[in-house]
Amino acid sequence: MRRLILPALLAAVLALTGCGGSERATPGTGSGPGADADVDLDLPGDGAGTVAPPCPFTADQISGFVGQPMVDQGTCSFGDGKGVAQLTVTTASRLAGETTYDYQRQQADQIYQEVTDLDGVGKGYLAVKDIGAEAVVINNVGSFTVTLSSFQRLGGQPDGYLRAVRQLLDALPR
């Protein structure tokens, strides 16, 4: 029973914050995914921390962080154009980030070789292994989950992923 509570809670938070959908909202009339609606959800802090920030990076910026050309694949996802290296930034509201943080941190401990808490960025951690990295930051702007995988150049250096992710984190809005 306990295993079912967190996924159900996560689904509810993502539904409330508008995260996880593959369709973009479009203005319209009537009902359905494209309809305009005025909904008063009575969220804590009168809406503070309940809005997901936009993607904070461009493909050119990402290229600079990872040291190789990257292509914007939409929805804050960037690839090397060859289907190998991938960098994704998932944004969510501060409320959604706080709700899922403990679970994400626990999973990172099981998946990555090294997981360290971040200081001075709000709440967060940085996780690294030989073929990838993940970082989660929750600050006043929102929640950001950054994942990198399969960068040959970064994996070939002892601290390649660590340096690239730290540069990304330093560039996040605060």
Tell me what pLDDT residue 57 has: 98
Q: Tell me whether residue 104 is in a domain.
A: yes
| pLDDT one digit per residue (tens) for the chain, 174 residues | 444 444 444 444 444 444 444 443 433 344 444 444 343 334 455 455 899 999 999 999 999 999 999 999 999 999 999 999 999 999 999 999 999 999 999 999 999 999 999 988 889 999 999 999 999 999 999 999 999 999 998 988 889 999 999 999 999 999
Tell me the residue range of the domain where 166 lies: 59-171
Name the DSSP letter for residue 46. G
User: What pTM was computed for the model?
Assistant: 0.73
Q: Tell me whether residue 17 is in a domain.
A: no
Residue 172 CA to residue 43 CA, distance in Å, equals: 25
Closest C-alpha among 158, 67, 147 to residue 112: 147
Q: Tell me whether residue 69 is in a domain.
A: yes
CB 72 within 8 A of CB 58: yes
Tell me what pLDDT residue 48 has: 56
- H/E element, 6: helix 2-17
Q: Tell me whether residue 20 is in a domain.
A: no
Q: Tell me whether residue 51 is in a domain.
A: no
Q: Tell me whether residue 111 is in a domain.
A: yes
Q: Tell me whether residue 2 is in a domain.
A: no
Tell me what pLDDT residue 144 has: 98
Q: Tell me whether residue 37 is in a domain.
A: no
Question: Nearest 10 degrees: CA dihedral of 86, 72, 142, 148?
Answer: 10
**CATH number of 90's domain:** 3.40.1000
Tell me what pLDDT residue 158 has: 82
| Tally of domains in the chain | 1
